[in-house]
A and B are shown apart, each in its own frame.
Chain A
Amino acid sequence: MTDLSLYVLDIVQNSIAAGAARIDISLLREGRRLVFRVDDDGRGMSAEMCAKALDPFTTTRSTRRVGLGLPFLKLAAEQTGGTLELKSELGKGTSLSAEFDAEHIDMPPFGDFAGTVFALIQGSPDIRFVIKRQNDNREYTLDTDELLEQLGGEVPLNEPEVLAWISDFVNEQELRVVSYEL
């Protein structure tokens, strides 16, 4: 993966595959520390599966023998001196937290986060996504339930004009929260 936004897209696919109805995604930066968190209410994993999932020879998929998503993210976090924590409970859901040192030379670039949000909502318009971004004291939230309220149940989130609005919104907010770093 070449950037953090791609890791986010990939890791959230696991929550979608686990049948989650609500997925909370947050990317919070404070000083050098950047924490990427995902909480879902999908089917979860046993403690044993959870421990194994970080090992690159584990997967429940049938088309390929090894799962790559979690081991890739773990490696990326650890290469910056950070950590990956995975907690899960069968039937309840899963929480993942990856911590990065954002100023480390091996920190992946942030990438196209609007494209990630676009792809997630396009693929799963019936899941409630609550996305929170924070950069020191600037932040924004995108809650798809709030969007649906405006759309009055008449227009789905995967309507092209709605997706375009979402991607413009995220791009604008990203510019606002990161601009002072330049």
Chain B
Amino acid sequence: MKSLEELKAIRERTRGQMNLRKEDGPDNTRIVVGMATCGIAAGAKPVLSAAVDQVGRRKLDHVVVTQTGCIGMCMYEPIVEIYVPGQEKVTYVKMTPERMEKIVAEHIVNGQIVGEYTIGANE
């Protein structure tokens, strides 16, 4: 059984790293997941957990995952926007956890936009 005590251990393990991570620093890459009714109904929840999971697993300390309301294009949901500092926003559509994994690996880690999942390729 999970106990509250375990949180104390997590606190000991992670508190040293907290200073390294600036939640809204200008150098952060942001992964923004649309979580309005249309997004949730289309499957945004597993996409969000895949994003958090990938960022945690790869220890991408400069990447933050945030949620937003309706992006206004319900038929393309789930939608994810990627903001890399100094670059134009990229909008990915009809997202799945598998697509999210690929985007973290290729776009965020290697700097290569995954063209086939962008809104431009799906219009």
Tell yes or no: A88 within 8 A of B by CB: no
Report the separation of the CA atoms of residues A69 and B69 in the bound assembly, to the nearest whole angstrom: 12
A64 touches B49 (CB 8 A): no
Docked Cα-Cα span, A51 to B49, in Å, equals 35
Complex contacts, B15 vs chain A, CB 8 Å? 154-155
A152 touching B6 in the complex, CB below 8 Å, given contacts A10-B40, A119-B45: no
Q: Do B69 and A72 have beta carbons less than 8 Å apart?
A: no
Tell whether A131 is near chain B: CB-to-CB under 8 Å: no
Q: Which residue of A lies closest to B59 (CB)?
A: A160
* Any A CB within 8 A of the CB of B105: no
Residues A9 and B40 in contact in the complex (CB < 8 Å), given A155-B15, A159-B14: yes
Does A163 interact with chain B (Cβ within 8 Å)?
yes
A84-103 to B contact mask, C-beta < 8 Å, 1/0:
00000000000000000000
Q: Which residues of A59-100 are within 8 A (CB) of B? A: 61, 63-64, 67-69, 72
**Given A72-B37, A161-B10: A119 touches B49 (CB 8 Å cut-off):** yes
Q: Is B72 an interface residue (CB 8 A)?
A: yes
B2 contacts which of A146, A154, A159, A168 (Cβ < 8 Å)?
A168
Known contacts A119-B48, A123-B35, A151-B7; A172 and B40 CB within 8 A of each other: no
Most chain A CB inside 10 Å of its own CB: which residue of B15, B36, B55, B56: B36
Q: Which chain B positions have C-beta within 8 A of A13?
A: 35-37, 40, 69
A113-157 to B contact mask, C-beta < 8 Å, 1/0: 001101100110000000000000000000000110011101110
Residue in chain A with minimal CB distance to B5? A150
Interface string of B1-16 (1 = CB under 8 A from A): 1101111101101110
Q: How far is the CA of A154 from the CA of B48 in the complex (A)?
A: 25
- Is A6 within 8 A of B55, CB to CB? no
Task: Chain A residues near B46: list those with CB within 8 A.
Answer: 115
Please tell me if the beta carbons of A150 and B45 are within 8 angstroms of each other in the complex: no
Q: How far is the CA of A88 from the CA of B79 in the complex (A)?
A: 31
- Does the CB pair B67–A119 fall under 8 Å? yes
Q: Pick the most buried of A112, A116, A119, A169: most chain B CB atoms within 10 A of its CB.
A: A119
- Contact assessment for B52 and A163 in the assembled complex, using a CB-CB cutoff below 8 Å: yes
10 extra interface residue pairs, beta carbon distance < 8 Å, beyond A61-B36, A154-B15, A165-B7: A1-B40, A6-B41, A63-B71, A119-B35, A119-B49, A147-B7, A150-B4, A154-B18, A161-B10, A161-B13
